């Protein structure tokens, strides 16, 4: 499995209709269904009524597991945070070269969107329009944390002599994040037709070095 290939899914024994669901399985199923509905290329807003209909339950049944729609989105954001920063930590631990760290983090961020199309709409804030403002604030913080991780990798690269003198690690990290966010937007707005990593091989040197 490539970095970024994580996806919300129910274990087979829990997803089987003939077996009793384990505690928390219904919450996971709701999040999985919400993420799947966000993959609609038309980018239409997902309502709790539509989500309940997709699950063949009442809206009241949804609220037995989540206090609000915002809490459902928080569940998706927690998945994004856990997955992305878990992979960043893994890359930083296993890769000693600062430049290779940055390259692998960049590739992972694009691969994550490719594998988790519905999550891409959360990452760019498209799915959070008219939702609670704390959700967008949390996504802004996530982007800042990604930039901080890349900044650290570029600082390591600078101390290792992998970057030309005078290159600002902070400016380079900001450039890479701007590129990634732009690719996420392009992917979502194309109806998920334009792959996030399209042309990356030819652009990596200019972005990272």
Give the CA distances from residue 53 to residues 60, 72, 127, 176, in Å, rounded to whole numbers and listed in that order: 12, 16, 19, 40
Confidence of residue 2 (pLDDT cuts 50, 70, 90): very low
CA distance 152 to 157: 9
Q: Which of 96-124 are b and which e, b meaning 16 or more Cβ less than 10 Å from the residue's Cβ?
A: eebbbbbbbbbbbbbbbbbbbbbbbbbbb
Classified as helix, coil or strand, 19 is coil
Confidence of residue 6 (pLDDT cuts 50, 70, 90): low
Q: How many CB atoms lie within 10 A of CB 182?
A: 12
- Give the single-character DSSP code of 129: T
Say if residue 10's pLDDT is above 50: no
Answer positive or negative: Cα dihedral of 110, 112, 117, 122: negative
* Res 42: pLDDT: 82
Question: Taking the model in full, what pTM does it have?
Answer: 0.86
Helices marked H in 95-196 = 98-115, 117-123, 133-159, 169-189
**Mean pLDDT rounded to a whole number for the chain:** 88
Confidence of residue 14 (pLDDT cuts 50, 70, 90): very low
Confidence of residue 43 (pLDDT cuts 50, 70, 90): confident
CB 4 within 8 A of CB 115: yes
């Amino acid at each position: 499995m490539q970095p970024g290939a994580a996806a919300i899914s129910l274990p087979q024994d829990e997803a089987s209709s003939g077996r009793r669901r384990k505690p928390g399985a219904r919450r996971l199923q709701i999040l999985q269904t919400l993420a799947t509905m966000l993959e609609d290329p038309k980018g239409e807003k997902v309502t709790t009524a539509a989500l309940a209909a997709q699950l063949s339950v009442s809206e009241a049944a949804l609220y037995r597991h989540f206090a609000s729609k915002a809490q459902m989105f928080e569940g998706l954001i927690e998945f994004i945070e856990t997955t992305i920063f878990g992979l960043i930590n893994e890359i930083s631990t296993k890769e000693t070269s600062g430049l290779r760290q940055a390259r692998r983090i960049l590739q992972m961020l694009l691969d994550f969107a490719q594998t988790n199309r519905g999550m891409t709409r959360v990452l760019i804030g498209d799915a959070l329009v008219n939702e609670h403002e704390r959700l967008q604030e949390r996504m802004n913080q996530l982007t800042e944390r990604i930039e901080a991780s890349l900044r650290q990798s570029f600082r390591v690269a600078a101390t290792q002599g992998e970057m030309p003198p005078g290159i600002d690690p902070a400016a380079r990290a900001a450039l890479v994040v701007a590129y990634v966010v732009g690719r996420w937007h392009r992917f979502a707005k194309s109806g998920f037709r334009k792959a996030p990593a399209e042309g990356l091989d030819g652009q990596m040197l200019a972005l990272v070095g």
